[in-house]
């Protein structure tokens, strides 16, 4: 069993790539700009990061990110791109999530040797799994909590994002549960503002969900956005649980790793991770973090779901990237059995029945939450029609029947195709 | 007294700038991609974000960040850059730091309308100050804790960053306190790893600092890196305090906002904020956050010090940017008296006596921590000579005497000039 931490990067440098990679390794372990007397060979042997591999990519004739002119190497003309793999002994920081981040994603993005540097992936020794319990419910537990044993969980987001009163929110929830929805979430902008306080929202929403559950046996999962300070989140979580809720949501970047880790240890329901702000890490190809690295941090912290955007979304993300992210969520994280830490990817943004076939074919399974706004609300048959059309679209996809064929005998799907295309 | 939140952005868009700014405002408040029936005029009036101003900058003929081809406007040729100011009613999220971040730095970096988007600054209503106590010690309190009533605090970082044993660390601390240092910090890579556990380090270091304080009356401030999970940080903080320590350090990005806010409420000593990972937000001019916006979040969370790099540093940051950051730390945050929330900027990276005159002249004061590695360790007169040379350089700068002149009667400064230039 490995006791080393591995991290994969994309780098770009006007220096020799081997030199640049050694600078990264040195700076993030035992090295300094100039070697010190007390940086002994034994210390370096025990604690130095190792450059495990370098894979040369293309070279550019201009730097992708600005570099300081006074620090450029003499006579350089090319900016070489490469994939680099580094490793560290666990001994350096122990199995600590915040200190892992300081090591693999700390003071290296500014290093003068680089005109681009992005963290692509991390591989962690199993000892992290013994310290961080990871997702408490994950895919299987979320299905148990919601009673949706197969197929996707069909979901939606309360809109407008912010501004609805508690009563208006409850009214919307009533329509949604009657319409057959599986999952509802607060927008990431709607947390505990004075016009719609979290507890008043819980008081108004949960009786509707509970009454529906008593009538039908189906408890719709509502992700209450409890993002906030530590004591506040803990108290709000308890309030949601006491009211019979089955899910709380946090904007993970806004709360941070220590906060999410803390909440997970206390949490009794599914923990829905919203990645608002993710574009800061992802939007530039030249700096930041790829989703594969990023989402592992939050799985370790303990989220059960995380957002991955959707095919043909309304943002700048490409479809390939969306599917890569969703697959990553479903891929085991550790070698130890029972430490797969698989979580449910949450698809959203401009989704309707139109993207279902492509989503299923690209992902190969339906272990996901499929959130639609207009795809449900703007369906000609109303909310119930929208939800039905999505189930029909998934049924068609999962049984390998062309959507148009399936739509001949399924009116709501036919209406969705008419309204949203296919 | 304003109850609105203001945020300033740099944007770049192939769309009409007014349209793009309205999309930002809509997406981060009451709007959705298509207007919904329940997004009433009254709701929009009460909760919609407002585009306060637009200042046109230059236009480029290519996008700075990749855009999805299928989402580009027809026939566009120019990518217009602009500064945009938006505002939100506090009513939307209340004075909550995590929910502020979801609003001003949430799901907008990915919006398809933008080929660049960076958060430059935020202005907050005073109600945030009534919820978040901010820095407990700040500049004045740090001076009181350390007994350094005027001039900079001369500091250093234990190196190698990671790998020293507890005994080796203590040995280094002994030399530093005897050498006259004011401030010592753990590296951000050195937290609580098995080879140098935090408590063992406290046990070894604090008796040296305490004994020196008893002998001389001067208690050197040691920033113990307690970055970790919530309960761990709290317990480690208590351990440092019980041992007589006066400062704890956290890697703020690695721990996150809720974690730092929580620690601050419990903290009895100075809270030293390390910004490891900051390059992810800052390195690209086209995405992320400027320091002015970024550091206000951590001041509100309650750090007393934050790193700002140093002049002619070894990273890719320009000198102007360093000084802008340091000034920002010292600028009051709120209009309310006693809610200035000023904190000490921490200069470091390749610093020695050589940058002192320029630093003082650019900043105009010495309310800072000035950390040197080689500038102290590699001084010909040893640690005591290095520390003395820095005090002399600051004395010269603050009394407006050219360093070379001052060096004629101050041997350690002369040696520093010889060794490190001026």
Which pTM does this prediction carry? 0.97
Q: How far apart are CA A137 and CA A338, in angstroms?
A: 12
**A305-338 burial string, b = 16+ CB within 10 Å, else e?**
bbbbbbbbbbbbbbbebbbebbbbbbeebbeeee
Which residue ranges in chain A fall short of pLDDT 50?
none
The domain containing residue A81 runs over which residues?
Answer: 4-125
pLDDT at A336: 85
Q: How far apart are CA B188 and CA A325, in angstroms?
A: 30
Interchain contact B39–A (C-beta under 8 A): yes
Residues of A in contact with B377 (CB under 8 A): 36
Q: Which of residues 195-224 of B touch A (CB under 8 A)?
A: 195
Q: Is the peptide bond before B160 cis (omega within 30 degrees of 0)?
A: yes
- Residue A76 covered by a domain: yes
Residues of B in contact with A32 (CB under 8 A): 159-161, 373
Give how far A311 is from chain B: nearest CA, Å. Answer: 13
Residues of B in contact with A195 (CB under 8 A): 46-47, 91-92
Q: Is the peptide bond before A116 cis (omega within 30 degrees of 0)?
A: no
- Residue A268 covered by a domain: yes
Angle, helix B411-420 to helix B382-398, in steps of 10 degrees:
100
pLDDT at A70: 79
Residues B386 and B239 in one domain: yes
- Dmax (CA) for chain A in angstroms is 79
Interchain contact B352–A (C-beta under 8 A): no
Residues A144 and A286 in one domain: yes
Residues B63 and B189 in one domain: no
Residue with tokens 């761990």: B232
Residues B115 and B165 in one domain: no
Determine, for residues B108 and A279 on separate chains, whether the beta-carbon distance falls below 8 Å. Answer: yes
pLDDT at B280: 98
- Residue B197 covered by a domain: yes
Q: Which of B174, B226, B283 to mutate to test the interface with A (most CBs of A within 10 A)?
A: B283
Whether residue B33 is predicted with pLDDT greater than 70 in this model: the reply is no
Q: How confident is the model at residue B193 (pLDDT cuts 50, 70, 90)?
A: very high
Residues of B in contact with A108 (CB under 8 A): 279
* CATH number of residue A153's parent domain: 3.20.20.110
Sign of the CA dihedral running B162, B163, B167, B172: negative
Residue with tokens 């990871």: A134
Taking all residues of chain B, what is their mean pLDDT, rounded to a whole number? 95
* Residue where one domain finishes, among candidates B94, B125, B156: B125
Q: Which of B280, B306, B310, B321 to mutate to test the interface with A (most CBs of A within 10 A)?
A: B280
pLDDT at A1: 54
pLDDT at A31: 76
Residues of A in contact with B34 (CB under 8 A): 374, 378
Whether residue B11 is predicted with pLDDT greater than 60 in this model: the reply is yes
* Residue where one domain finishes, among candidates A125, A147, A180: A125
Identity of the residue in A227, A229, A251 whose CB atom sits nearest the CB atom of B262: A229
pLDDT at A36: 74
Whether residue B2 is predicted with pLDDT greater than 90 in this model: the reply is no
Residues of A in contact with B317 (CB under 8 A): 68, 110
Determine, for residues A71 and B316 on separate chains, whether the beta-carbon distance falls below 8 Å. Answer: yes
Residues B218 and B158 in one domain: yes
**Which residues are within 8 A (CB) of A410 and not within 5 positions of it... i.e. 6 or more apart?**
A388, A389, A392, A396
Q: Determine the residue of chain B that is closest to A165 in CA distance.
A: B43
- CA B228 centroid distance within chain: 19
B346: helix, strand or coil: strand
- Residue A131 covered by a domain: no
**Which residues are within 8 A (CB) of B400 and not within 5 positions of it... i.e. 6 or more apart?**
none
Residues B86 and B229 in one domain: no
* Residue where one domain finishes, among candidates B76, B98, B125: B125
Q: How far apart are CA B405 and CA B422, in angstroms?
A: 12
Q: Determine the residue of chain A that is closest to B28 in CA distance.
A: A189
Residues A116 and A160 in one domain: no
Identity of the residue in B99, B112, B288 whose CB atom sits nearest the CB atom of A280: B288
Whether residue B104 is predicted with pLDDT greater than 80 in this model: the reply is yes
Structurally, chain B folds into a number of domains equal to 2
Residues B190 and B248 in one domain: yes
Cross-strand pairs, B122 = B7
Residues of A in contact with B43 (CB under 8 A): 160, 163-164
Residue with tokens 């003499």: A74
Residues B236 and B370 in one domain: yes
Whether residue B315 is predicted with pLDDT greater than 80 in this model: the reply is yes
Phi then psi dihedrals of residue B409, to 5 deg: -110, 10
Q: How many CB pairs under 8 A join A and B?
A: 350
- Residue B131 covered by a domain: no
Identity of the residue in A36, A106, A228 whose CB atom sits nearest the CB atom of B159: A36
- Residue A20 covered by a domain: yes
Taking all residues of chain A, what is their mean pLDDT, rounded to a whole number? 95
Interface predicted TM-score (ipTM): 0.97
Determine, for residues A111 and B253 on separate chains, whether the beta-carbon distance falls below 8 Å. Answer: no
Interchain contact A167–B (C-beta under 8 A): no
Residues A218 and A88 in one domain: no
**Which residues are within 8 A (CB) of B46 and not within 5 positions of it... i.e. 6 or more apart?**
A163, A195, B89, B91
In this structure, are residues A153 and A146 in contact, taking their beta carbons and an 8 Å threshold? yes
Give how far A69 is from chain B: nearest CA, Å. Answer: 9
* CATH number of residue B91's parent domain: 3.30.70.150
Residues A326 and A219 in one domain: yes
Determine, for residues B163 and A229 on separate chains, whether the beta-carbon distance falls below 8 Å. Answer: no
Measured CA angle at B274 (ends B273, B280), to 5 deg: 125
Identity of the residue in B191, B282, B315 whose CB atom sits nearest the CB atom of A93: B191
List alpha helices for B41-165, DSSP H: 41-47, 97-104, 127-131, 138-146
- Residue B224 covered by a domain: yes
Residues B239 and B173 in one domain: yes
Q: Which of residues 122-151 of B touch A (CB under 8 A)?
A: none
pLDDT at B157: 96
Residues of B in contact with A377 (CB under 8 A): 36
Q: How far apart are CA B245 and CA B268, in angstroms?
A: 10
Determine, for residues B195 and A47 on separate chains, whether the beta-carbon distance falls below 8 Å. Answer: yes
Which two tokens mark B136? 């407990």
- Residue B260 covered by a domain: yes
Identity of the residue in A39, A192, A287 whose CB atom sits nearest the CB atom of B94: A192
């Amino acid at each position: 069993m490995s006791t080393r931490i591995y991290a994969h990067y994309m780098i770009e440098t006007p220096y020799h790539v081997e030199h640049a990679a050694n600078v990264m390794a040195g700076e993030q372990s035992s090295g300094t700009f100039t070697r010190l007397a007390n940086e002994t060979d034994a210390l370096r042997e025990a604690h130095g990061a190792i450059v495990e591999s370098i894979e040369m990519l293309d070279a550019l004739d201009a730097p992708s990110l600005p570099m300081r002119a006074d620090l450029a190497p003499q006579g350089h003309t090319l900016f070489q791109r490469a994939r680099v793999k580094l490793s560290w002994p666990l001994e350096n920081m122990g199995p600590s999530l915040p200190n892992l981040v300081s090591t693999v994603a700390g003071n290296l993005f500014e290093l003068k040797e680089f005109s681009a540097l992005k963290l692509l992936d991390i591989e962690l020794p199993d000892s992290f799994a013994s310290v961080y319990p990871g997702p408490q419910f994950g895919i299987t537990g979320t299905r148990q909590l919601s009673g949706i044993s197969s197929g996707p969980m069909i979901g939606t987001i309360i809109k407008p994002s912010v501004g609805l009163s508690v009563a208006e929110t409850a009214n919307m929830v009533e329509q949604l549960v009657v319409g057959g929805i599986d999952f509802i979430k607060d927008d990431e902008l709607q947390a505990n503002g004075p016009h719609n306080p979290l507890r008043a929202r819980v008081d108004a929403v949960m009786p509707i969900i509970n009454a529906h559950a008593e009538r039908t046996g189906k408890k719709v999962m509502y992700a209450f956005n409890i993002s906030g300070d530590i004591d506040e989140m803990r108290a709000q979580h308890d309030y949601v649980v006491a009211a019979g809720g089955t899910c709380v949501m946090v904007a993970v970047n806004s709360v941070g790793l220590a906060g999410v880790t803390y909440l997970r240890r206390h949490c009794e329901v599914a923990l829905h991770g919203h990645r608002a702000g993710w574009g800061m890490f992802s939007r530039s190809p030249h700096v930041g973090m790829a989703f594969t690295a990023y989402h592992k941090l939050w799985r370790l912290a303990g989220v059960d779901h995380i957002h991955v955007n959707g095919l043909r979304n309304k943002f700048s993300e490409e479809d390939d990237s969306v599917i890569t992210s969703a697959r990553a969520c479903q891929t085991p994280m550790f070698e130890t059995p029972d430490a797969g830490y698989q979580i449910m990817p949450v698809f959203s943004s401009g989704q309707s029945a139109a993207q279902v076939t492509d989503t299923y074919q690209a992902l190969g399974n339906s272990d996901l939450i499929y959130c639609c706004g207009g795809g449900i609300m703007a369906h000609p048959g109303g909310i119930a029609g929208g939800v039905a059309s999505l189930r029909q679209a998934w049924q068609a996809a999962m049984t390998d029947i062309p959507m148009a064929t399936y739509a001949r005998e399924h009116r709501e799907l036919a209406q969705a195709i008419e309204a949203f295309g296919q």
